Amino acid sequence: MAIDTRGEAADRPSKPTGRPAKKRTSPALFYRQVVAELRKVIWPTRKDLISYTTVVLVFVVIMVGIVAGIDALLTKGVLAVFG
């Protein structure tokens, strides 16, 4: 079954959804909505932020160590096999 991509058939949606088309909001309304959402956010305290940052940095250092170790082992293995 071919789909007509030209003419009137292409302009009409294939199935009516029953919903009105979404309208774009103005930049001012968007800004007001963003500010309203940011007021709902529970911001972390300085102590929480330092704690979260430390946890992330420790995790990243551990993962770098694991990946570097696996890379070193694979490098030695490849060099041993292919010399």
pLDDT 10s digits, 54-82? 999 999 999 999 999 999 999 999 999 99
- With b meaning 16 or more CB within 10 Å and e meaning fewer, what string describes 41-70? eeeeeeeeeeeeeeeeeeeeeeeeeeeeee
How many CB atoms sit inside 10 A of residue 77's CB?
10
User: In 3-state terms, what secondary structure has residue 17?
Assistant: coil
**Average pLDDT, stretch 1-18?**
61
Q: What is the pLDDT of residues 14-52, one digit of tens each?
A: 666 667 777 888 999 999 999 999 999 999 999 999 999
**Token pair of 25, please?**
């909001």
Give pTM, 2 decimals.
0.54
